[in-house]
Amino acid sequence: MNRTKITGINLYDFLIVILYFCDLCIPHTMEKPSYILGIESSCDDTAAAVLRNNEVLSNCIANQKIHQAYGGVVPELASRAHQANIVPVVQQALSIANIDKKDLSAIAYTRGPGLLGSLLVGSAFSKSLALSLNIPLIEVNHMQAHLLCHFIKNEKESPPAFPFLGVTLSGGHTQLVMVESHFQMKEIGKTRDDAIGEAFDKCGKIMGLNYPAGPEVDRLAKTGNPDAFQFPIPKVPGLEVSYSGLKTAFINLVNKNCQKNPKFIAENLNDLCASIQKTLVAVIMEKITLAKKEYNLESVVIGGGVAANSAIREALNLKAENEAWNVFLPPFQYTTDNAAMIGIVGYHKLISQQLGSMKQSVSARLSF
């Protein structure tokens, strides 16, 4: 055995340990990590997540099934369900992340936009916990979070480079956003009336599908003919979008045909889903194409519940293949409302010291 070599290695290891404890050679990755608790309660999902810097350790959601019976979210019932769910969901997120609440560095919560009563539950809980742990509280804009979910650590893809065109597609919003940096965002286009998710849900409702109907329309459309029924693309100038006329055209077509044939929906369900989905997607794709050209942007980044839709993902992937668009599609778990996206915004605000205030109130109509 070569004694000198062994001694040499041991001496080297020993020196590294000494230097490490003297803080002289701490590499960047060894810096003390931040643990962020993200809390989301803007609508009908109570969600909590724990992040270590930009990495998600847990991402828990309690869905509120109670609204299905009403075909849409009932605000008062949502607030009550948030109250019942918030403590168990936070406990679950901490336990999966294997973190004690005393190890948290900050709490990030959704300040708006959303339902006032629902937002109040998340905000009151977050403020109380931050106060009791004596750690920073961070306010998060839910729509910014839908776009910034792309900055969550992901082994398969790097985050988008600024500037980019952000597109939020959800149950309450349809926006085109010029994103200059993490927190410099400007709305450049939006829906005049219904959001794309709302249009999916309302068209699904007339066909007897449960709320939220979007995922079911998507699933049924897979075996339907998208050209079976034709709907007009609304002519709205510039970067504005409109979905209410299209929704009405769909409802009128269904009602008219049902009068002649009561089995019309059942006999044409998949074709109806495929045809309306194709048109809903065509409307937003036209405006995304226009915005990208007008603002000369290379990358298109989508977020929100409807970002899970297979037709919109396919349409964007085609643009990436055929026209070299730089397209960013969120992983499915970060499309509909979730707290991991709130946590990642919290992390970026924490490192840039954009801390919140105990006095700040929630806002149902928070803009960028």
Given the rule CB under 5 A, which residues bind Mg ion? 170, 337
Size (the chain), residues: 368
Q: Which residue number, 142 or 287, has a Cβ lying nearer to ligand ADP? A: 142
- Contacted by 40, from ligand ADP, Mg ion, none: CB < 5 to 8 Å by type: none
Task: Evaluate the CA torsion angle 257, 260, 265, 267 in order and state its sign.
Answer: negative
The pair of three-digit structure tokens given for residue 121, joined into one six-digit string:
């539950």
Let me know if 205 is exposed, middle or buried by CB neighbors in 10 A (0-12, 13-18, 19+).
middle
The pair of three-digit structure tokens given for residue 174, joined into one six-digit string:
């349809």
- Contacted by 212, from Mg ion, ligand ADP, none: CB < 5 to 8 Å by type: ligand ADP
Q: Does 200 bind ligand ADP (CB under 6 A)?
A: yes
- Contacted by 201, from Mg ion, ligand ADP, none: CB < 5 to 8 Å by type: ligand ADP
Sequence-distant contacts of 264-267: CB under 8 A, at least 24 apart = 265/207, 265/208
CB 56 within 8 A of CB 96: no
For residue 142, CA distances in Å to 18, 44, 78, 120, 235 come to 46, 13, 17, 14, 30
- Smallest gap from residue 129 Cβ to ligand ADP (A): 23
Residue closest to ligand ADP (Cβ): 305
Binding pattern to ligand ADP, positions 264-283, x when CB under 6 A? --------------------
Which amino acid belongs to residue 251? I
Q: Which residue number, 122 or 215, has a Cβ lying nearer to ligand ADP? A: 215
Write out the binding residues for ligand ADP, residues 169-188 only, by CB under 6 A: 170-172
Q: Does 118 bind ligand ADP (CB under 6 A)?
A: no
Q: Where are the extended beta strands (E) located within 118-159?
A: 137-141
Q: Which residue number, 275 or 336, has a Cβ lying nearer to Mg ion? A: 336
Q: Does 218 bind ligand ADP (CB under 6 A)?
A: yes
Q: Does 139 bind ligand ADP (CB under 6 A)?
A: no
Q: Does 340 bind ligand ADP (CB under 6 A)?
A: no
Let me know if 185 is exposed, middle or buried by CB neighbors in 10 A (0-12, 13-18, 19+).
buried
Among 309, 315, 344, 349, binds ligand ADP (CB under 6 A): 309
Q: Which residue number, 283 or 306, has a Cβ lying nearer to ligand ADP? A: 306
Q: Does 304 bind ligand ADP (CB under 6 A)?
A: yes
Q: Does 306 bind ligand ADP (CB under 6 A)?
A: yes
Q: How many CB atoms lie within 10 A of CB 269?
A: 18
CB 60 within 8 A of CB 87: no
- Contacted by 197, from ligand ADP, Mg ion, none: CB < 5 to 8 Å by type: ligand ADP
Q: Does 46 bind ligand ADP (CB under 6 A)?
A: no
Nearest to 36 by CA among 11, 17, 53, 19: 53
Of the candidate spans 10-18, 100-108, 197-205, 251-259, the one that interacts with ligand ADP by CB under 6 A turns out to be 197-205
Q: Is 35 left (phi over 0), alpha (psi -120 to 50) or beta?
A: beta
Q: Which residue number, 40 or 327, has a Cβ lying nearer to ligand ADP? A: 40
CB 325 within 8 A of CB 300: yes
Among 37, 43, 62, 206, binds ligand ADP (CB under 6 A): 43
Alpha carbons 99 and 91: distance in angstroms, whole number: 10
Q: Does 214 bind ligand ADP (CB under 6 A)?
A: yes
- Contacted by 308, from Mg ion, ligand ADP, none: CB < 5 to 8 Å by type: ligand ADP
Alpha carbons 229 and 316: distance in angstroms, whole number: 23
Place of tokens 């990208």: 292
- Smallest gap from residue 112 Cβ to Mg ion (A): 12
Estimate to the nearest angstrom the gap between the alpha carbon of 8 and the chain centroid. 53
- Smallest gap from residue 305 Cβ to Mg ion (A): 6
Q: What are the residues binding ligand ADP (CB under 6 A)?
A: 43, 170-172, 197, 200-201, 212-215, 218, 304-306, 308-309, 336-337
